Protein backbone atom coordinates (compact mmCIF):
# COMPACT_ATOMS: atom_id res chain seq x y z
CA UNK A 1 0.00 0.00 0.00
CA UNK A 2 2.81 2.36 0.90
CA UNK A 3 4.49 1.47 -2.35
CA UNK A 4 1.36 2.32 -4.32
CA UNK A 5 1.11 5.71 -2.59
CA UNK A 6 4.79 6.36 -3.27
CA UNK A 7 4.37 5.47 -6.92
CA UNK A 8 1.34 7.72 -7.22
CA UNK A 9 3.26 10.56 -5.55
CA UNK A 10 6.25 10.12 -7.89
CA UNK A 11 3.99 10.03 -10.94
CA UNK A 12 2.17 13.15 -9.77
CA UNK A 13 5.50 14.89 -9.22
CA UNK A 14 6.66 13.93 -12.69
CA UNK A 15 3.42 15.20 -14.25
CA UNK A 16 3.68 18.49 -12.34
CA UNK A 17 7.32 18.90 -13.43
CA UNK A 18 6.48 18.20 -17.09
CA UNK A 19 3.59 20.65 -16.89
CA UNK A 20 5.82 23.31 -15.36
CA UNK A 21 8.46 22.83 -18.03
CA UNK A 22 5.81 23.01 -20.75
CA UNK A 23 4.34 26.18 -19.23
CA UNK A 24 7.73 27.86 -18.90
CA UNK A 25 8.58 27.01 -22.50
CA UNK A 26 5.33 28.46 -23.84
CA UNK A 27 5.79 31.54 -21.64
CA UNK A 28 9.34 32.10 -22.95
CA UNK A 29 8.23 31.66 -26.54
CA UNK A 30 5.53 34.28 -26.05
CA UNK A 31 8.09 36.70 -24.57
CA UNK A 32 10.43 36.11 -27.50
CA UNK A 33 7.60 36.59 -30.02
CA UNK A 34 6.55 39.79 -28.31
CA UNK A 35 10.14 41.11 -28.39
CA UNK A 36 10.44 40.23 -32.07
CA UNK A 37 7.22 42.07 -32.84
CA UNK A 38 8.38 45.11 -30.83
CA UNK A 39 11.79 45.08 -32.53
CA UNK A 40 10.15 44.73 -35.91
CA UNK A 41 8.03 47.75 -35.14
CA UNK A 42 11.18 49.71 -34.34
CA UNK A 43 12.96 48.46 -37.48
CA UNK A 44 9.93 49.21 -39.63
CA UNK A 45 9.87 52.82 -38.49
CA UNK A 46 11.02 54.82 -41.52
CA UNK A 47 14.29 56.64 -40.90
CA UNK A 48 14.36 60.30 -41.87
CA UNK A 49 17.57 61.01 -43.80
CA UNK A 50 19.77 63.67 -42.26
CA UNK A 51 20.46 66.92 -44.06
CA UNK A 52 24.01 65.71 -44.68
CA UNK A 53 22.75 62.52 -46.37
CA UNK A 54 20.26 64.44 -48.53
CA UNK A 55 22.85 67.00 -49.63
CA UNK A 56 25.31 64.18 -50.38
CA UNK A 57 22.74 62.45 -52.62
CA UNK A 58 21.87 65.75 -54.27
CA UNK A 59 25.52 66.48 -55.13
CA UNK A 60 26.02 62.93 -56.46
CA UNK A 61 22.95 63.43 -58.65
CA UNK A 62 24.48 66.61 -60.10
CA UNK A 63 27.75 64.76 -60.62
CA UNK A 64 26.07 61.84 -62.43
CA UNK A 65 24.27 64.29 -64.71
CA UNK A 66 27.57 65.98 -65.60
CA UNK A 67 26.56 69.32 -64.04
CA UNK A 68 29.43 69.31 -61.53
CA UNK A 69 32.63 67.42 -60.76
CA UNK A 70 33.54 66.42 -57.21
CA UNK A 71 37.13 66.70 -56.09
CA UNK A 72 38.25 64.87 -52.96
CA UNK A 73 41.27 66.68 -51.66
CA UNK A 74 41.50 67.31 -47.91
CA UNK A 75 37.79 68.12 -48.00
CA UNK A 76 35.18 67.62 -50.68
CA UNK A 77 35.03 70.42 -53.24
CA UNK A 78 32.52 70.75 -56.06
CA UNK A 79 33.50 72.12 -59.45
CA UNK A 80 31.01 73.93 -61.67
CA UNK A 81 31.37 74.03 -65.43
CA UNK A 82 29.32 77.25 -65.63
CA UNK A 83 29.27 80.39 -63.52
CA UNK A 84 25.49 80.47 -63.01
CA UNK A 85 25.84 78.66 -59.68
CA UNK A 86 22.77 80.16 -58.01
CA UNK A 87 20.44 79.45 -60.95
CA UNK A 88 21.71 75.88 -61.28
CA UNK A 89 21.32 75.03 -57.58
CA UNK A 90 17.88 76.66 -57.32
CA UNK A 91 16.49 74.86 -60.37
CA UNK A 92 17.92 71.47 -59.42
CA UNK A 93 16.87 71.67 -55.77
CA UNK A 94 13.32 72.63 -56.75
CA UNK A 95 12.95 69.29 -58.53
CA UNK A 96 14.90 67.27 -55.97
CA UNK A 97 14.21 68.52 -52.43
CA UNK A 98 12.55 71.91 -52.06
CA UNK A 99 12.83 71.76 -48.26
CA UNK A 100 16.60 72.38 -48.45
CA UNK A 101 17.53 76.06 -48.56
CA UNK A 102 20.91 77.40 -49.66
CA UNK A 103 23.11 80.47 -49.63
CA UNK A 104 25.91 81.16 -52.13
CA UNK A 105 29.07 82.72 -50.71
CA UNK A 106 32.32 83.59 -52.44
CA UNK A 107 33.99 80.22 -51.77
CA UNK A 108 31.28 77.92 -50.43
CA UNK A 109 27.60 77.04 -50.58
CA UNK A 110 25.68 76.75 -47.32
CA UNK A 111 22.85 74.21 -47.41
CA UNK A 112 20.49 74.51 -44.45
CA UNK A 113 17.22 73.38 -42.96
CA UNK A 114 15.93 74.49 -39.54
CA UNK A 115 19.01 74.62 -37.29
CA UNK A 116 21.20 72.34 -39.44
CA UNK A 117 23.84 73.77 -41.79
CA UNK A 118 26.37 72.22 -44.16
CA UNK A 119 29.16 74.11 -45.92
CA UNK A 120 30.47 72.81 -49.27
CA UNK A 121 33.42 74.61 -50.93
CA UNK A 122 33.17 75.16 -54.68
CA UNK A 123 35.30 76.41 -57.57
CA UNK A 124 34.80 76.92 -61.27
CA UNK A 125 36.30 74.60 -63.84
CA UNK A 126 40.00 75.23 -64.33
CA UNK A 127 40.65 76.03 -67.98
CA UNK A 128 44.44 75.88 -67.80
CA UNK A 129 46.20 73.19 -69.92
CA UNK A 130 46.54 69.87 -68.12
CA UNK A 131 49.79 68.06 -67.39
CA UNK A 132 49.68 64.39 -66.42
CA UNK A 133 52.84 63.07 -64.78
CA UNK A 134 53.17 59.28 -64.56
CA UNK A 135 55.98 57.85 -62.45
CA UNK A 136 56.85 54.33 -63.63
CA UNK A 137 58.79 51.51 -61.91
CA UNK A 138 57.20 51.95 -58.48
CA UNK A 139 57.72 49.05 -56.07
CA UNK A 140 61.47 48.68 -55.63
CA UNK A 141 62.44 51.46 -53.25
CA UNK A 142 60.48 52.50 -50.17
CA UNK A 143 62.33 55.83 -49.78
CA UNK A 144 62.00 56.98 -53.40
CA UNK A 145 58.44 55.71 -53.58
CA UNK A 146 57.49 57.76 -50.52
CA UNK A 147 58.88 60.86 -52.22
CA UNK A 148 56.69 60.14 -55.25
CA UNK A 149 53.63 59.91 -53.00
CA UNK A 150 54.29 63.44 -51.75
CA UNK A 151 54.09 64.90 -55.27
CA UNK A 152 50.68 66.43 -55.89
CA UNK A 153 48.38 64.55 -58.30
CA UNK A 154 51.09 62.33 -59.83
CA UNK A 155 49.98 58.94 -61.17
CA UNK A 156 51.78 55.83 -59.87
CA UNK A 157 52.62 53.00 -62.26
CA UNK A 158 53.52 49.94 -60.17
CA UNK A 159 55.49 46.93 -61.38
CA UNK A 160 53.69 43.81 -60.12
CA UNK A 161 55.25 41.43 -57.61
CA UNK A 162 58.04 43.67 -56.36
CA UNK A 163 58.87 43.98 -52.67
CA UNK A 164 56.77 47.12 -52.12
CA UNK A 165 54.21 46.79 -54.94
CA UNK A 166 51.23 46.08 -52.69
CA UNK A 167 52.36 48.66 -50.13
CA UNK A 168 52.37 51.49 -52.69
CA UNK A 169 49.08 50.40 -54.27
CA UNK A 170 47.41 50.55 -50.85
CA UNK A 171 49.17 53.76 -49.79
CA UNK A 172 48.47 55.41 -53.13
CA UNK A 173 44.77 54.57 -52.86
CA UNK A 174 44.64 56.05 -49.36
CA UNK A 175 46.11 59.28 -50.76
CA UNK A 176 43.69 59.34 -53.74
CA UNK A 177 46.45 58.69 -56.27
CA UNK A 178 45.66 57.06 -59.61
CA UNK A 179 47.24 53.61 -59.84
CA UNK A 180 48.44 51.89 -63.04
CA UNK A 181 49.90 48.42 -63.55
CA UNK A 182 53.34 48.64 -65.17
CA UNK A 183 53.29 45.41 -67.19
CA UNK A 184 56.72 43.95 -68.14
CA UNK A 185 56.89 43.40 -71.91
CA UNK A 186 59.66 42.13 -74.15
CA UNK A 187 62.09 44.82 -75.37
CA UNK A 188 64.55 44.57 -78.23
CA UNK A 189 67.93 43.25 -77.02
CA UNK A 190 66.04 41.18 -74.45
CA UNK A 191 69.16 39.42 -73.12
CA UNK A 192 70.36 42.75 -71.77
CA UNK A 193 67.34 43.02 -69.44
CA UNK A 194 66.75 39.43 -68.27
CA UNK A 195 67.26 39.18 -64.53
CA UNK A 196 65.81 35.74 -63.85
CA UNK A 197 63.15 37.21 -61.53
CA UNK A 198 60.73 39.32 -63.58
CA UNK A 199 58.60 37.44 -66.12
CA UNK A 200 58.02 39.38 -69.33
CA UNK A 201 55.27 39.01 -71.89
CA UNK A 202 57.18 37.88 -74.98
CA UNK A 203 56.38 37.47 -78.67
CA UNK A 204 57.49 33.81 -78.48
CA UNK A 205 54.72 32.92 -76.01
CA UNK A 206 51.63 31.21 -77.35
CA UNK A 207 48.36 33.08 -76.92
CA UNK A 208 47.20 31.03 -73.92
CA UNK A 209 50.41 31.78 -72.02
CA UNK A 210 50.00 35.48 -72.80
CA UNK A 211 46.44 35.36 -71.45
CA UNK A 212 47.55 33.61 -68.24
CA UNK A 213 50.48 35.93 -67.51
CA UNK A 214 48.42 39.00 -68.43
CA UNK A 215 45.65 37.87 -66.07
CA UNK A 216 48.19 37.33 -63.30
CA UNK A 217 49.68 40.81 -63.71
CA UNK A 218 46.40 42.66 -64.24
CA UNK A 219 44.95 41.17 -61.06
CA UNK A 220 48.02 41.50 -58.87
CA UNK A 221 47.97 45.28 -58.31
CA UNK A 222 44.89 46.35 -56.34
CA UNK A 223 43.05 49.62 -57.04
CA UNK A 224 44.52 49.94 -60.58
CA UNK A 225 42.42 51.85 -63.11
CA UNK A 226 44.66 51.16 -66.11
CA UNK A 227 47.97 49.73 -67.31
CA UNK A 228 51.01 50.77 -69.30
CA UNK A 229 53.97 48.86 -70.69
CA UNK A 230 57.27 48.41 -68.87
CA UNK A 231 59.83 48.31 -71.71
CA UNK A 232 58.00 46.41 -74.48
CA UNK A 233 59.61 47.92 -77.58
CA UNK A 234 59.40 44.53 -79.33
CA UNK A 235 56.13 43.25 -77.85
CA UNK A 236 54.16 46.43 -78.64
CA UNK A 237 55.14 46.07 -82.31
CA UNK A 238 53.38 42.70 -82.57
CA UNK A 239 49.71 43.16 -83.51
CA UNK A 240 48.59 39.60 -82.72
CA UNK A 241 50.16 39.53 -79.24
CA UNK A 242 49.05 43.05 -78.34
CA UNK A 243 45.47 42.13 -79.32
CA UNK A 244 45.51 39.20 -76.85
CA UNK A 245 46.88 41.45 -74.09
CA UNK A 246 44.54 44.39 -74.74
CA UNK A 247 41.49 42.12 -74.82
CA UNK A 248 42.34 41.27 -71.20
CA UNK A 249 42.55 45.00 -70.42
CA UNK A 250 39.11 45.60 -71.92
CA UNK A 251 37.54 42.65 -70.07
CA UNK A 252 38.55 44.25 -66.77
CA UNK A 253 37.28 47.70 -67.80
CA UNK A 254 40.76 49.21 -67.58
CA UNK A 255 42.44 51.59 -70.04
CA UNK A 256 45.86 51.36 -71.65
CA UNK A 257 48.59 53.97 -71.72
CA UNK A 258 51.15 53.27 -74.44
CA UNK A 259 54.51 54.25 -72.97
CA UNK A 260 55.60 54.46 -76.61
CA UNK A 261 58.97 52.74 -76.19
CA UNK A 262 58.92 52.07 -79.94
CA UNK A 263 57.92 54.38 -82.78
CA UNK A 264 56.51 51.26 -84.46
CA UNK A 265 54.11 50.45 -81.61
CA UNK A 266 50.74 49.14 -82.82
CA UNK A 267 49.07 49.55 -79.41
CA UNK A 268 46.96 52.56 -80.43
CA UNK A 269 45.68 50.92 -83.62
CA UNK A 270 44.75 47.69 -81.83
CA UNK A 271 43.10 49.58 -78.97
CA UNK A 272 40.99 51.53 -81.47
CA UNK A 273 39.91 48.32 -83.21
CA UNK A 274 38.83 46.88 -79.84
CA UNK A 275 37.01 50.04 -78.76
CA UNK A 276 39.37 50.29 -75.79
CA UNK A 277 40.09 53.52 -73.91
CA UNK A 278 43.77 54.36 -74.48
CA UNK A 279 46.31 57.16 -74.26
CA UNK A 280 49.82 57.71 -75.59
CA UNK A 281 52.83 59.10 -73.77
CA UNK A 282 53.97 62.49 -75.11
CA UNK A 283 57.39 62.77 -73.52
CA UNK A 284 59.88 60.96 -71.31
CA UNK A 285 61.33 63.22 -68.63
CA UNK A 286 64.46 61.29 -67.73
CA UNK A 287 66.04 59.41 -70.60
CA UNK A 288 69.17 61.15 -69.37
CA UNK A 289 69.77 61.42 -65.64
CA UNK A 290 70.81 65.04 -65.61
CA UNK A 291 68.71 67.57 -63.71
CA UNK A 292 69.13 70.28 -66.32
CA UNK A 293 68.01 67.97 -69.15
CA UNK A 294 65.09 66.65 -67.06
CA UNK A 295 64.02 70.25 -66.43
CA UNK A 296 64.19 70.94 -70.18
CA UNK A 297 62.01 67.90 -70.85
CA UNK A 298 59.51 69.20 -68.32
CA UNK A 299 59.41 72.51 -70.21
CA UNK A 300 58.72 70.59 -73.44
CA UNK A 301 55.84 68.77 -71.73
CA UNK A 302 54.36 72.13 -70.65
CA UNK A 303 54.65 73.41 -74.22
CA UNK A 304 52.85 70.33 -75.60
CA UNK A 305 50.09 70.77 -72.99
CA UNK A 306 49.58 74.37 -74.10
CA UNK A 307 49.42 73.33 -77.75
CA UNK A 308 46.92 70.47 -77.47
CA UNK A 309 45.25 71.06 -74.09
CA UNK A 310 47.05 68.30 -72.21
CA UNK A 311 50.28 66.30 -72.19
CA UNK A 312 51.35 63.00 -70.65
CA UNK A 313 54.89 62.94 -69.29
CA UNK A 314 56.47 59.75 -67.95
CA UNK A 315 59.31 59.75 -65.45
CA UNK A 316 60.90 57.32 -63.04
CA UNK A 317 61.71 57.36 -59.31
CA UNK A 318 65.26 58.54 -59.84
CA UNK A 319 66.70 61.01 -57.35
CA UNK A 320 67.41 63.49 -60.15
CA UNK A 321 63.85 63.30 -61.50
CA UNK A 322 62.26 63.67 -58.09
CA UNK A 323 64.54 66.57 -57.21
CA UNK A 324 63.44 68.49 -60.35
CA UNK A 325 59.74 67.77 -59.74
CA UNK A 326 59.93 68.73 -56.07
CA UNK A 327 61.56 72.05 -56.96
CA UNK A 328 59.48 72.98 -59.99
CA UNK A 329 55.92 71.69 -59.55
CA UNK A 330 54.79 74.56 -57.27
CA UNK A 331 55.85 77.10 -59.93
CA UNK A 332 54.65 75.35 -63.09
CA UNK A 333 51.13 75.18 -61.63
CA UNK A 334 50.87 78.83 -62.67
CA UNK A 335 51.02 77.68 -66.31
CA UNK A 336 49.35 74.26 -66.25
CA UNK A 337 47.21 72.17 -63.92
CA UNK A 338 48.83 68.96 -62.67
CA UNK A 339 46.06 66.35 -62.86
CA UNK A 340 45.86 62.57 -62.41
CA UNK A 341 45.45 60.50 -65.56
CA UNK A 342 41.82 59.71 -64.66
CA UNK A 343 41.07 63.33 -65.61
CA UNK A 344 41.49 62.32 -69.25
CA UNK A 345 38.78 59.69 -68.89
CA UNK A 346 36.38 62.38 -67.64
CA UNK A 347 37.51 64.72 -70.41
CA UNK A 348 36.83 62.12 -73.11
CA UNK A 349 33.34 61.54 -71.70
CA UNK A 350 32.42 65.16 -71.69
Q: What are the tens digits of pLDDT across the range 309-324?
A: 999 999 999 999 999 9
* Cα 71-76-80 angle, rounded to 5 deg: 55
Least confident of 159-163, 188-192, 197-201, 324-328: 188-192
In tens, the pLDDT along 112-136 reads 998 889 898 887 776 789 999 999 9
* pTM given for the model: 0.67
Look at residue 13 in the predicted model and tell me its pLDDT.
65
Percent of the chain with pLDDT over 90: 59
Return phi, psi of residue 331, to 5°.
Answer: -80, -40
Residue 197: pLDDT over 50: yes
- Domain boundaries in the chain? 51-124, 130-349
Architecture of domain 130-349: Alpha-Beta Barrel (3.20)
As a whole number of angstroms, the distance between CA 301 and CA 157 comes to 19
Look at residue 268 in the predicted model and tell me its pLDDT.
96
Average pLDDT over residues 162-189: 96
| β-bridge partners, 310 | 130
* pLDDT interval class at 151 (50, 70, 90): very high
Q: With residue 240 as reference, give the H or E element that holds it.
A: helix 239-251
Residue pair 202/186 in contact by the 8 Å Cβ criterion: yes
Residue pair 176/209 in contact by the 8 Å Cβ criterion: no
Amino acid sequence: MNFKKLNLFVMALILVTIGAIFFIRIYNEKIIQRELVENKKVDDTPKIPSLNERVEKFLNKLKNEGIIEIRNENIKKIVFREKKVEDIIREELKNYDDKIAFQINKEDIIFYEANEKISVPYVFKDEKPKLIIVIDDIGNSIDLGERVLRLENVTLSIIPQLKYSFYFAKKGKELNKDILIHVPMEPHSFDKYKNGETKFLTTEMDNEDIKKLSKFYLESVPYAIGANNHMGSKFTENEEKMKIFLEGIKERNLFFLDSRTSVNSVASNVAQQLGLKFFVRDIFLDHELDEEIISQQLDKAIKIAKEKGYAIAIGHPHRETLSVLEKRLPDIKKEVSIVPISFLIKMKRG
